[in-house]
Structure 1
Amino acid sequence: MDVRAQVSMVFHLDKCIGCHTCSIACKNLWTDRRGAEYMWWNNVETKPGTGYPTLYEDQEKYRGGWEAGAGRPRLKLGGRLAELARIFHNPRLPALDDYYEPWTYRYDQLIGAPPSDDQPVATPVSLVTGEDMKIEAGPNWDDDLGGSSIYAAADPNVEALTDSERGQLLAFERLVFFYLPRICNHCLNPGCLAACPAGAIYKRGEDGIVLVSQHKCRGWRMCISGCPYKKTYFNWANGKAEKCILCYPRQETQQVPACMHSCVGRIRYLGVLLYDAERLAATAALPDAELVEAQRALILDPFDPEIAAAAREAGMPEAILEAARRSPVFQFVKRFRLALPHHPEFRTLPMLFYVPPLLPVMATVSDGHYEVTPELLSSLDASRLPLRYLAAMFTAGEVAPIVEVYRKLVAARLYQRATTVGDVPRESATHALEEAGLSAQDAEEIYRLTALASFEERFVVPPFFREGAIESVEDVHEHQEEEGAGFLRPPRRGW
């Protein structure tokens, strides 16, 4: 067993209101400069929808992430020879139009306009070329339109639905959408790192944060193709790759990342997880149906005396173990099994998890009449969003884990309604808890973690002990040579 620490996150999608405050906080802090105008290290997508960049989830198009191999995963993008063959022409790379071309306006046309009977207009001009342009896309272009037939029909996850489910999802009177905030997942098995021919991307041993060395980056952009989430960007002004750094300078001073600190809906949680680095390759190589459970099994229980002893033997400070025990991410992912990874079939083992939205049916249209349903919550069969769609996003197509999560969420909500409002019979709430495998105490803790958790409970930033961590890029290179193409087990640095 090789116990490592990883800073991880949970986003509760039932609480996201799509205000984009997180995106603006990140933009103001990190990407408000030349060459980074189009970058949104934190973006909020409307789903069902095409996402940002357009259709980034379609790996038949982009070939990002990994595929199962004989005992270990293989990069979908190909090995080093395949990268070399297309190093000067990479068809698997999103173009600027897949994001949007950043622009400004010729404000002098307004400020210096002479007196006239006509209203002067400021012409949009490209920040890249400096030429006049016609605006056809922009940040959050499909905001609140993702559920419409225009964007929802093009969502790659819709392909997993049957014809009847697709018709149900796209029916005008049942239009539904939810918000999906995304940042870099800081994966355990990052595809961007394995695809970089310059060895510029590395994973910090003390906290698992994935970073790009600006000194070593040569702008080949294979990292963009290798990341299935397209969370690595190319700065067109300086020719370097850039990405979310999880605000590590803030965390090193015990501050929360800017996007999480500013979140209005309080949907975000941060904490440290312990995992077994020896099992990374075997876990990532498993069939799709086993990936969610295998990733959960990869996460270790910090309350287990054997795990704690192994961590201490590896040199992990006691303060890290204590932070892991207080981690809200551990509660969501491992203890209550409510949070799921985004597209586990990409096999990057992402460390950002999502609690799926309930989206209950509160009203229906029957024979042209709008009718409010009498039940507080709909059954899973009548969910506004087909379970198969959510399974395509969070469980590699397996519906059973989605049903398990939903039963727990519904049971906890029914229990609270029965306890605080009294409009649900106590017997019904108790039966729902039993079916979900929860106790009344579990329901209370889920309610507190979801709705009442304080700032300190939602964000448990571990001490980083930077003075004891050894930053050695040479160790990374030696390890990559030993393991071959790929980065399945980060070298130990610090502990």
Structure 2
Amino acid sequence: MRIMAQLAMVMNLDKCIGCHTCSVTCKQAWTNRDGMEYVWFNNVETRPGQGYPRRYEDQEKWRGGWRLNKRGKLTLRSGGRFQKLATIFSNPRLPEIKDYYEPWTYEYKNLTDAPLGDDYPVAAPRSLITGKPMKIEWGANWDDDLGGAPQYGDLDPMVAKTRAQASEKVRFAFEQTFMFYLPRICEHCLNPSCVAACPSGAIYKRSDDGIVLVDQDRCRGWRECVTGCPYKKIYFNHRTGKAEKCTFCYPRTEVGLPTVCSETCVGRLRYLGVLLYDADKVASAAATKEETGLYEAQLGVFLDPEDPEVRREAEAAGIPHDWVQAARRSPVHALVSRYKVALPLHPEYRTMPMVWYIPPLSPVVEALNETGFDGEDPDNLFGAIDTLRIPLEYLAELFAAGDTGPVRASLEKLAAMRSHMRAVNLGERPDPAIAASVGMELTEMEEMYRLLAVAKYEERYVIPTAAVGDARRLEESAVPTSCSLDHADGPGMGGEGAFGQDSGRTELPLVSLETFHALRAQQTADVQPHVGDVAEARGEK
């Protein structure tokens, strides 16, 4: 057993309202710059829909992820070494800008500078890539709220797979349609195909927290990683000629702060925590013969942090004590392994994704209420799960490689929790049979309810801070030991030092670490501090 730790995420799709706040704040933090205009590390898709880039789930076309060869061994869908060598200068399996979308802005200056006249000035769209006038034909969230579903809905690869099993289950007539929101980031997989696909070895998975990153110095821009990633969450910066991707906001997580998308999420649907896993089992789990067995195989890779032997082995493997303790309190471990209501996105890609999802239950209740029955009655709910507006088969294609069993089990637990908590809130006697029917205890159900419904900031984001002790030392190590004027273009000579424009000042500009801690204190405080108290704490009063 080789124990490793990974920071992972769970998203509760019942709580996503499709506001795109996470996308906008991520864009502002990471990709609001030249060469990355079309890039969204975090995007929110309306399902059914083609997604971003268009039809990225069609692996017959894009060849992302892994497959089993004739000998039952894992191999990249995009091909082996000889295949890559043959196509390295002209990769035929890359999404084009039209598959993402051509980013644009508007000529707002026309509105303010147009001369007085009888006609109204127009802010015409212009491409952010070419600078020329353009016609807007697609966008990163063109499918938003089922926009164009009657015309484009059939192009969703998961709709095609669902109809192959149940032809009458997915319709796009107004009175028969359904939708839910699916936020997506990089999956930071346990078995990442992008790492294996990179000819330069520029993509790596950090051993301390499992975050997958791109070494910009080693990247040569071959873009094999774009093809290799089945989720299409690696992007090419056409200005720098390098690949870039979601970083799981590692500068924040290293000091105990959640990712930007989690911090700013309006619906509070994201959970961050540590999962312990046996690295020796990853390859065999990913090579599970039947695709429908991949979900259970990945569950078998995760370890129970409450097991004393696991804790001893973890600390013997060099995993810091506070990481082990964080794993014990991890909301991700609870939702994935203990309650088993969270499911992986497309486990059939065999990458062992580490961003999991709780499937949406709300449309079940709404559809049942419309028939005149009590939407919170467990007997009605369990029966309605087979006839809900969002077909089980469609959710299963997304989260369980087509197997409806795990999806049904998750939805039944959520339905039972709702029914039990209604009885509690109305002062009725809870029925233990409700929890027992889904294999849970009443106390477990109430703990799951607290986590999903009313969990506080520090309960949703349990991020170990083993690196905080070294953070100040690492910042100070960037300060030059010699005089800043001893070299050409140093501070005071028209240039910048280790800390950019702040270099050369009397006090060290250790702003990043201090700001992170101040932000964390602000976000977790029940009462906001008075301005005078903040100034006094800083020694400014």
Task: Flag whether TM exceeds 0.5 (same fold).
Answer: yes
- TM alignment of 1:113-262, pairs within 5 A: 113-145=114-146, 148-162=149-163, 165-170=166-171, 171-262=173-264
Given that 1:273 and 1:324 are in contact with CA atoms closer than 8 Å, whether structure 2 keeps it comes out as yes
Given that 2:162 and 2:170 are in contact with CA atoms closer than 8 Å, whether structure 1 keeps it comes out as no
Match of 1:360 among 358, 364, 376: 364
Cα 1:238/1:451, change in 2 over 3 Å: same
Given that 1:46 and 1:146 are in contact with CA atoms closer than 8 Å, whether structure 2 keeps it comes out as no
In the alignment, does 2:39 pair up with 1:39? yes
Cα 1:71/1:301, change in 2 over 3 Å: farther
CA distance in 2 between counterparts of 1:154 and 1:117 reads: 45
Residues 244-282 of structure 1: CA deviation (Å, up to 9, x unaligned):
001000111221111000111010000011111111111
Match in the other structure for 2:323: 320
- TM alignment of 1:13-92, pairs within 5 A: 13-69=13-69, 70=71, 72-92=73-93
Residue 316 of structure 1: how far off its partner (Å): 1.5
CA distance in 2 between counterparts of 1:452 and 1:50 reads: 33
One-letter code aligned to 1:394: F
- TM alignment of 1:321-400, pairs within 5 A: 321-358=324-361, 359-363=363-367, 372-376=372-376, 378=381, 379-400=384-405
Residue 146 of structure 1: how far off its partner (Å): 6.0
Given that 1:283 and 1:294 are in contact with CA atoms closer than 8 Å, whether structure 2 keeps it comes out as yes
Residue 374 of structure 1: how far off its partner (Å): 4.0
Residue 162 of structure 1: how far off its partner (Å): 4.0
Residue 168 of structure 1: how far off its partner (Å): 3.6
Cα 1:364/1:295, change in 2 over 3 Å: closer
Match of 1:296 among 299, 306, 323: 299
Residue 153 of structure 1: how far off its partner (Å): 1.9
CA distance in 2 between counterparts of 1:18 and 1:98 reads: 22
SS at structure 2 position matched to 1:357: coil
Cα 1:373/1:272, change in 2 over 3 Å: same
Given that 2:7 and 2:273 are in contact with CA atoms closer than 8 Å, whether structure 1 keeps it comes out as yes
SS at structure 1 position matched to 2:437: helix
CA distance in 1 between counterparts of 2:243 and 2:257 reads: 25
Given that 1:38 and 1:101 are in contact with CA atoms closer than 8 Å, whether structure 2 keeps it comes out as yes
- TM alignment of 1:93-108, pairs within 5 A: 93-108=94-109
- State the structure with more CA Rg: 2
One-letter code aligned to 2:345: H
Residues 154-190 of structure 1: CA deviation (Å, up to 9, x unaligned):
2111123246944342143121100000011100111
Number of paired residues?
A: 463
Residue 82 of structure 1: how far off its partner (Å): 0.6
Residue 130 of structure 1: how far off its partner (Å): 1.7
Structure 2: runs of 5+ lacking an equivalent: 472-541
Residue 417 of structure 1: how far off its partner (Å): 1.1
CA distance in 1 between counterparts of 2:192 and 2:80 reads: 15
Match in the other structure for 1:285: 287
CA distance in 2 between counterparts of 1:442 and 1:57 reads: 36
Match in the other structure for 1:486: none
Residue 396 of structure 1: how far off its partner (Å): 0.6
Match in the other structure for 1:420: 425
Match in the other structure for 1:475: none
Given that 2:367 and 2:389 are in contact with CA atoms closer than 8 Å, whether structure 1 keeps it comes out as no
CA distance in 2 between counterparts of 1:363 and 1:118 reads: 49
CA distance in 1 between counterparts of 2:253 and 2:214 reads: 18
One-letter code aligned to 2:396: A
CA distance in 2 between counterparts of 1:197 and 1:56 reads: 22
Given that 1:12 and 1:355 are in contact with CA atoms closer than 8 Å, whether structure 2 keeps it comes out as yes
SS at structure 2 position matched to 1:74: strand
Given that 2:65 and 2:229 are in contact with CA atoms closer than 8 Å, whether structure 1 keeps it comes out as yes
CA distance in 2 between counterparts of 1:163 and 1:247 reads: 39
Residue 71 of structure 1: how far off its partner (Å): 5.2
Cα 1:163/1:350, change in 2 over 3 Å: closer
CA distance in 2 between counterparts of 1:234 and 1:314 reads: 36
CA distance in 2 between counterparts of 1:184 and 1:458 reads: 20
Residues 350-373 of structure 1: CA deviation (Å, up to 9, x unaligned):
0000000012153489xxxx7544
- Percent sequence identity over matched residues? 53
CA distance in 2 between counterparts of 1:439 and 1:364 reads: 26
One-letter code aligned to 1:324: A
SS at structure 2 position matched to 1:136: coil
SS at structure 2 position matched to 1:149: helix
One-letter code aligned to 1:190: P
Cα 1:156/1:118, change in 2 over 3 Å: same
Residue 86 of structure 1: how far off its partner (Å): 1.1
Cα 1:2/1:103, change in 2 over 3 Å: same
Structure 1: runs of 5+ lacking an equivalent: 470-495
Residue 464 of structure 1: how far off its partner (Å): 4.1
CA distance in 1 between counterparts of 2:461 and 2:73 reads: 34
Residue 239 of structure 1: how far off its partner (Å): 1.0
Given that 1:71 and 1:282 are in contact with CA atoms closer than 8 Å, whether structure 2 keeps it comes out as no
Given that 1:72 and 1:282 are in contact with CA atoms closer than 8 Å, whether structure 2 keeps it comes out as no
CA distance in 2 between counterparts of 1:349 and 1:463 reads: 25
SS at structure 2 position matched to 1:291: helix
One-letter code aligned to 1:362: E
One-letter code aligned to 2:444: D
Residue 99 of structure 1: how far off its partner (Å): 0.8
- TM alignment of 1:387-466, pairs within 5 A: 387-421=392-426, 429-465=431-467
Residue 467 of structure 1: how far off its partner (Å): 7.8
One-letter code aligned to 1:442: E
Given that 1:72 and 1:284 are in contact with CA atoms closer than 8 Å, whether structure 2 keeps it comes out as no
CA distance in 2 between counterparts of 1:146 and 1:289 reads: 32
CA distance in 2 between counterparts of 1:402 and 1:168 reads: 16
CA distance in 1 between counterparts of 2:177 and 2:143 reads: 15
Greater relative CO, 1 or 2 (CA 8 Å, sep 6+): 1
SS at structure 1 position matched to 2:453: helix
TM-score by length of 2: 0.82
